[in-house]
Amino acid sequence: MRNRESLIRLHKFQVDEKRRQVAELEIMLTEFHSRERELDRHVKAEQERAGISDVAHFAYPMFAKSVMRRRENILQSIEGLERQLEDAKEELAAAFRELKKYELMEDGRKRKVRKEVMRVEQMQIDEVALNIHRRR
């Protein structure tokens, strides 16, 4: 019985850990998306200031080019994080399914034990009733 309870606790811990990982990745993605939008605004503002939006133009601002490179790097990081998030969600779902399997097994075992206890109690009650009936 202790082994089953230990397994359930272990799987609950694993599910909680996977949930934390998913939450952390979602927070990171939110921050990266925010940073990407901010860099995009910086590029547009610099283009408006310079009056040049053609990246190939010889007078295109260097600051805007460097911010665009940073933004592209963040977009690549976002893609990687999104893949990690999908993997983490799949791992969470698998861990949850495993936990449920053990919980259902334990619930079935407990039902059997309760049913057996009720059967034994009923037998004892029946025996007491028979003894009372015999005495009369």
Query: 3-state SS of 35-100?
Result: HHHHHHHHHHHHHHHHCCCCCCCCCCCHHHHHHHHHHHHHHHHHHHHHHHHHHHHHHHHHHHHHHH
Domain assignments of the chain as residue spans, ordered by start: 2-108
From first to last of its 136 residues, the chain has per-residue pLDDT tens of: 678 888 899 999 999 999 999 999 999 999 999 999 999 999 999 999 999 988 888 888 999 999 999 999 999 999 999 999 999 999 999 999 999 999 999 999 999 999 999 999 999 998 988 888 888 6
Q: What crossing angle do the helices spanning 62-135 and 2-50 adopt, rounded to 10°?
A: 160
CA-only gyration radius of the chain, Å:
32
